[in-house]
Structure 1
Amino acid sequence: EEYTPEDITARAETGSDPLCVRTVETLAGIFGSVAGDLVLSLGGWAGVYLTGGVLPILLPWLKHGGFRERFESKGRFRETMEQVPTVAMMHPEPGLLGAAALAVLDAGKPLVPGA
């Protein structure tokens, strides 16, 4: 039987199909490995911001699955990687929100009213 991505995540969420659960767990782990590799290669020591339309669907597995273990599992760099935060950006338009924040700051105004 062919499954759509929506079918896979729905069945993984309910736990009704072990293969779907394994598929989503594997995807979260690969995501963690790649994110960790990018930190090591590009130097994102201040943190990693996760965004995208699939993020709300994968969030339970990112929180409790292999994401963070695979993110940190970088041999002699493990202790360093444990200090790098990962933040899920759930805003529907994070790029526009960031651009608006920069425009406000560029105008000389504080981001928080009354600050």
Structure 2
Amino acid sequence: MVQILVVEDNPVNMELTVDLLESYGYGVVQAEDGFVALQKLQEEKIDLILLDIQLPRIDGLELLSRIKNEDSTKDIPVIALTAHSMRGDDERFISAGCIDYISKPIDIKGFKKKLQLYLGEPEE
């Protein structure tokens, strides 16, 4: 089963994202901050990371840098999530190493299509 690591500190956003992913048929691993995410990346086989950019303790861009500089995780695709999108954010996140960018609140139809673009259809 395809495993997606969701790194999100807001419990409501985490629950919504997890519910959507599970309804699409993806496996989900949850991390409420960057340090937990790094631990999960060592423990689990992750196929894609959905990364909130504004996180406590270690922000999303710093976490992204650590992920991309580690041999065991550098090839995992990362999609940035943010509620406070500003002009130029998409270019900034892509140049930092993300493959794409999703603004919150999540557009449910667009979200599913984007996941399918990068992961294909989930296995039954």
Common fold by TM > 0.5: no
Using the size of structure 1 for normalisation, the TM-score is 0.34
More helix by share: 1
Higher gyration radius (CA)? 1
